[in-house]
A and B are shown apart, each in its own frame.
Chain A
Amino acid sequence: MTSSALALGGVLAAEGSGDGFQAPGLGEFYPEVVASFSVLGIDFEITRITIILWIATLALVAFLIAAVRNPQMVPGKLQFVGESGYSLVRDGIARDVVGPKGLPFAPFLGALFFFILANNLMAIVPLAQISPMSKFAFPLVLAAICWVMYIWIGIREQGAGKYFKDILFLPGVPKPMYILVTPIEILQNFVVRPFTLAVRLFANMFAGHMLLVVFSLGAVYLFQVGNYSVVFGPISALMAIVMTFFELLVIFLQAYVFTVLMGTYLNGSIEAEH
């Protein structure tokens, strides 16, 4: 992964050094550091992306508080939007996916869904136009929290012995098959699940941003290049618009998928049978 990224960077750098189209690269995700400080030896960098993260977070908090500030039996517009999102998670995921014991997880799953959604939406908000979720750190944080949580819930609900025994020796599998199944189960439960959870979200937002940037910058370049290429400019611009709508779909889908998957993991932890 590292070598291919470096190779990609090298190719882009080589291309970028010429007079032609300077394709956007990984630099997109490493904007200039506005300010940096250090606490207890940990370096904090304030960049465009961290600012966007804070804007998204504060906007979300403001929206949620406004939505529940004066809750009515017949909801207003704001309350209706907030309620729809929360009901989607509460009824659709906490109750239906996690199961009968799932309702206490509704606030956590709701926070997960809204946090991812708010940050993802920054990918198409003008002037921001990059999702903090395209920085691996943030999906990783969420996936790590989920990872700790579903293991903890599994131990709490089933007891450590039964929980780990069921993972190591999947019930209902013929004994010789454990040679094959046990390593897969261990890998899946403790490595693959959190990793795919983080990477799925990260890669989707990363790729989405790259697509938008490439088409947008491509359109600008084609308009400016000054030769026959100008006829392709509108196509590139059109693609940028189309991809923006596609991105909107991805934004909602990824927020939902992340939450649903966490719901199924919680379900696996709560209910003994697989």
Chain B
Amino acid sequence: MNILAAESENPLLPPLGEIIIGLIAFGIVLLVMFKFVAPRFEQVFRARREAIEGGIERAEAMQAEAKEALEQYRAQLAEARSEAAQIRDQARAEGQQILEGLRVQAQEESARIVARGEEQLATARQQVVNELRGQIGTLAVQLAGQVVGESLAEDARRSGTVDRFLAELDGMAAAGDGAVGARKGSR
């Protein structure tokens, strides 16, 4: 039986040979671990970490780029908006200017029309006055002749009287004319 052999052995006092065998076996594993396994695994871990970090970096770069593009678009949009506003303002100003020009033109036109009308009116009036003066003279002479009952055509004083009367009439007309002109100017 093995038991009898075991009686001479103490399980906690191992033979030196076994200890050395154990040392060698563990030494081999240690060597393999240090020489091959750990460096290769570290390499893989590093590569993996770099891949992940590289991905993150790439994503960050992309995000920055997108942000930049957005800023650019916004700036462009703002620029376009301000430009549009400027154009609008300019157009409005131009319109105003044109309108102003037109108004001035229209006023000038109307003023000119009014002036011409007044001129015509004055001419027509003068004509009427001249005509009337002749007629009134003749009429007045006829009337006076009829009233007196005889022709005073040859009378020297006659012409003087008529002329005086006409001058008087003229003075009256001139005063009336001035009043009319003043009334027009106030309008």
Q: Which residues of A contact B (CB under 8 A)?
A: 1-2, 5-6, 9-10, 12-13, 16, 25-32, 42-45, 50, 53-54, 57, 60-61, 64-65, 67-68, 71-73, 75, 79, 82-83, 86-87, 90, 106-108, 110-111, 114-115, 132, 135-138, 140-142, 145, 206
Contact = CB atoms under 8 A, between A and B. Distances in A.
B106 interface: no
Contacts of A72: 44
A10 B3 CA distance: 9
Contact of B37 (A26, A43, A50, A82): A82
A137 B15 CA distance: 7
Main SS of chain A's interface residues?
Answer: helix
A71 B40 contact: yes
B43 A71 contact: yes
Contacts of A138: 18, 22, 25
Given A82-B37, A106-B38, A111-B26, A137 B14 contact: yes
Nearest to B19: A137
Nearest to A134: B11
A51 B17 CA distance: 14
B40 to A, nearest CB: 4
Contacts of A75: 44
Given A12-B3, A83-B44, A141 B33 contact: no
B6 to A, nearest CB: 4
B23 A141 contact: yes
B1 A107 contact: no
22 contacts: A1-B10, A13-B3, A43-B17, A45-B17, A50-B21, A64-B36, A79-B44, A83-B44, A86-B37, A107-B34, A107-B38, A108-B30, A110-B33, A111-B32, A111-B33, A114-B33, A137-B15, A137-B19, A137-B21, A138-B22, A138-B25, A140-B22
Nearest to A12: B3
B37 A107 contact: yes
B29 interface: yes
Given A42-B17, A141-B19, A9 B30 contact: no
Q: Which 4 A-B pairs have the closest CB atoms?
A: A27-B2, A137-B14, A137-B18, A107-B38
Contact of B6 (A2, A29, A115): A29
A68 B3 contact: no
Given A10-B7, A64-B32, A79-B44, 12 more contacts: A9-B6, A9-B7, A13-B4, A26-B2, A26-B11, A30-B5, A44-B21, A68-B36, A73-B48, A87-B41, A137-B14, A138-B25
Contacts of A44: 17, 20-21
B23 to A, nearest CB: 5
B29 A115 contact: yes
Nearest to A61: B32
B14 A135 contact: yes
A108 B26 CA distance: 10
B26 A142 contact: yes
A86 B32 CA distance: 13
B26 A68 contact: no
A15 B119 CA distance: 161
A79 B10 CA distance: 42
Contacts of A64: 32-33, 36-37
Interface string B41-59: 1011101100100000000
B166 to A, nearest CB: 131
A65 B36 contact: yes
A43 B16 CA distance: 8
Nearest to A44: B17
